[in-house]
Amino acid sequence: MKTSIATVSISGSFPEKLEAIAKAGFDGIEIFEQDFIASDYAPRDIGAMVRDHGLAITLFQPFRDFEGLPEPYRSRAFARAERKFDLMADLGAELMLVCSTVHPAAMGGIDRAAADFHALAEIAAPRGLRVGFEALAWGRHINDHRDAWEVVRRADHANLGLILDSFHTLARKIDPETIRRIHGDKIFFVQLADAPAIEMDLLYWSRHFRNMPGEGDLDVTGFLRAVLATGYEGPLSLEIFNDQFRAGLPRLVAQDGYRSLIDLMDRVRRAEPALAVDLPAFPAPKPVQDIEFIEIVTAPETAREVGDFLTALGFSATASHVSKQVTRWQQGAINILVNTQGSGFAHSSYVAHGTTVSEIALRVPDAMAAQARAEALGIAPYRQTPVSGELDIPAIRGVGGSLLRFVDDATTLGQIWDLDFTAAKPTAKGAGLTRIDHIAQTMAYDEMLSWSLFYHALFDAQKAPMVDVVDPDGLVRSQAVETGALRITLNGAEARRTLAGRFVEDSFGSAVQHIAFASDDIFATAAALAAAGFPILQIGGNYYDDVEARFGLDPALTVRMRAANVLYDEDAGGQFFQLYSLTRPEGLFIEIVQRQGGYRGYGAPNAPFRIAAQKRATRPAGLPKF
Where would I find the H helices in 410-552?
A: 414-415, 448-459, 499-506, 522-531, 541-551
Q: Min. distance of Cβ 71 from Mg ion in angstroms?
A: 29
Closer to Mg ion by Cβ: residue 407 or 443: 443
Going from the C-alpha of 415 to that of each of 33, 316, 388, 419, 486, the distances in angstroms are 58, 21, 14, 5, 22
Closer to Mg ion by Cβ: residue 339 or 614: 614
Q: Min. distance of Cβ 489 from Mg ion in angstroms?
A: 6
Closest CA to 68 of 111, 123, 112: 112
Please give the torsion angle defined by the CA atoms of residues 313, 314, 320 and 321, in that order, rounded to the nearest 10 degrees.
-60
Closest CA to 547 of 567, 527, 522: 567
Going from the C-alpha of 610 to that of each of 470, 540, 562, 589, the distances in angstroms are 10, 10, 14, 12
Q: Is 566 helix (H, G, I), strand (E, B) or coil?
A: coil
Q: Min. distance of Cβ 592 from Mg ion in angstroms?
A: 10
Binders of Mg ion among residues 352 to 411 (CB under 5 A) are none
Q: Min. distance of Cβ 570 from Mg ion in angstroms?
A: 16
Closer to Mg ion by Cβ: residue 238 or 516: 516
Q: Is 436 helix (H, G, I), strand (E, B) or coil?
A: strand
Q: Min. distance of Cβ 482 from Mg ion in angstroms?
A: 13
Distance CA 423, CA 557 (A): 43
Where would I find the H helices in 230-292?
A: 243-247, 250-271
Closer to Mg ion by Cβ: residue 141 or 286: 141
Distance CA 69, CA 76 (A): 10
Q: How many CB atoms lie within 10 A of CB 347?
A: 17
Distance CA 601, CA 52 (A): 50
Closer to Mg ion by Cβ: residue 9 or 507: 9
- Cis ω before 62 (30° cut-off from 0): yes
Distance CA 181, CA 342 (A): 64
Q: Min. distance of Cβ 515 from Mg ion in angstroms?
A: 9
Q: Min. distance of Cβ 306 from Mg ion in angstroms?
A: 20
Q: Min. distance of Cβ 603 from Mg ion in angstroms?
A: 7
Position 191 contacts Mg ion (CB under 5 A): yes
Residues in contact with Mg ion, shown as a per-residue x/- string from 222 to 241 under the rule CB under 5 A:
-----------------x--
Q: Min. distance of Cβ 215 from Mg ion in angstroms?
A: 17
Position 482 contacts Mg ion (CB under 5 A): no
Length of the chain: 626
Distance CA 303, CA 287 (A): 34
Closest CA to 14 of 250, 256, 259, 252: 250
Which residue's CB comes closest to Mg ion? 165
Q: Min. distance of Cβ 40 from Mg ion in angstroms?
A: 26
Q: Min. distance of Cβ 513 from Mg ion in angstroms?
A: 9
Binders of Mg ion among residues 512 to 531 (CB under 5 A) are 516
Residues in contact with Mg ion, shown as a per-residue x/- string from 115 to 154 under the rule CB under 5 A:
----------------------------------------
Residues in contact with Mg ion, shown as a per-residue x/- string from 243 to 282 under the rule CB under 5 A:
----------------------------------------
Going from the C-alpha of 448 to that of each of 117, 140, 470, 603, the distances in angstroms are 43, 36, 17, 20
Q: How many chain residues interact with Mg ion (CB under 5 A)? A: 7
Closer to Mg ion by Cβ: residue 395 or 516: 516
* From 35, 147, 165, 471, residue interacting with Mg ion (rule: CB under 5 A): 165
Closer to Mg ion by Cβ: residue 235 or 285: 235
Position 206 contacts Mg ion (CB under 5 A): no
Q: Min. distance of Cβ 553 from Mg ion in angstroms?
A: 21
Residues in CB range of 173: below 8 A, 6 or more apart = none
Closer to Mg ion by Cβ: residue 288 or 516: 516
Residue range at the interface with Mg ion (CB under 5 A); choices 13-21, 161-169, 379-387, 502-510: 161-169
Binders of Mg ion among residues 563 to 622 (CB under 5 A) are 591, 602
Closer to Mg ion by Cβ: residue 239 or 586: 239
Question: DSSP assignment of 142-166, as one string?
Answer: --SHHHHHHHHHHH--TTEEEEEEH
Binders of Mg ion among residues 449 to 468 (CB under 5 A) are none
Phi, psi for 365 (deg, rounded to 5): -60, -35
Residue range at the interface with Mg ion (CB under 5 A); choices 121-129, 245-253, 328-336, 432-440: 432-440
Residue range at the interface with Mg ion (CB under 5 A); choices 149-157, 177-185, 191-199, 558-566: 191-199
Note the residues at the interface with Mg ion (CB under 5 A). 165, 191, 239, 440, 516, 591, 602
